[in-house]
Structures are given as C-alpha cells and as structure tokens.
Amino acid sequence: MSLISDSNASNICAGLLEDTLKICKADNSLKFFRKDFASRTVWLLILKAHFEKKDITIEILARAVAEVSIISKPTLRQIVDNAMHRGFIKLVDSKKDHRSMNIVLEDVTITEFKEWCYFIKDLGK
C-alpha cells in the first residue's frame, strides 16, 4: 500500500470539509442520512441493497445494523419512518413474503448519492 502525499491528503481533507459545510446548509437526503452513525449505516445498507438489486426489509436492516451499531428497533423504525416522511425512501409490499415490506429508495435519494459519489471520486485527483 502506498501512502498519498501530504498535498493530496490536504486537498482531500479540504474537499471533505467543504462538502460537510455544504451538506450542513442543505435540506436533502445526504444531510438526513449523514447526521449520525446509525442513520449513515442505515443509508449505506439500503443503498448497497439497491445497487446489488437485493430486497431489504426492516428485519434484514435491523440484523445488518446490529453488526456495527447498537440501535434499538424503535430507533431504527424512527429513522425509516422519518426518511419515508421526507420522501427519501418508501415501503413496498414484498412479492416474496406478503407479511413484510421492502425498503425502496426514492429517485431523489439515488440521484443525490450518485452526485455525491462523483464529488468523492474527484477528491483524490
């Protein structure tokens, strides 16, 4: 593994700080999901499932979050409910199990994440 130069590290740090300040002023899915460790973990797990074209339910999400964070089911449910209320995700009836609901990203969340990825990708240049 090669280390990056101090100059590149400084540029990345400056870019991340700029991004943090920009997101802090925004009212979007990036700000909503990046506000704390649990929300960020939920966001990344839902995004991962989306891009892998896998279903994700509250139960699957709860088990996955439990591996990295201590979070109660009511807190997890609150994050999901608030994200739904804000229009960042939706719950859709599962075709495999009619007793459960799949968590599905809204287009705005996918678009904002992809735009952020583009920004992150360019930080190291």
Task: Summarize pLDDT for 64-95 with one digit per residue, the tens.
Answer: 999 988 888 899 999 999 999 999 999 998 88
Token look-up 């608030």 returns 82
Q: What is the pTM of this model?
A: 0.88
The answer to whether position 105 is within a domain reads yes
Which segments of the chain have a pLDDT < 70?
Answer: 1-2, 124-125
Q: Which residues pair with 102 in a beta bridge?
A: 57, 92
pLDDT at 70: 86
Residue at 65 is within a domain: yes
The span from the CA of 21 to the CA of 117, in Å, is 17
41 lies in which domain range? 29-123
CATH number of 111's domain: 1.10.10.10
Q: Count how many domains the chain has.
A: 1
Output the CA torsion 9→15→20→26 (10° steps): -170
**Number of neighbours of residue 111 by Cβ within 10 angstroms:** 13
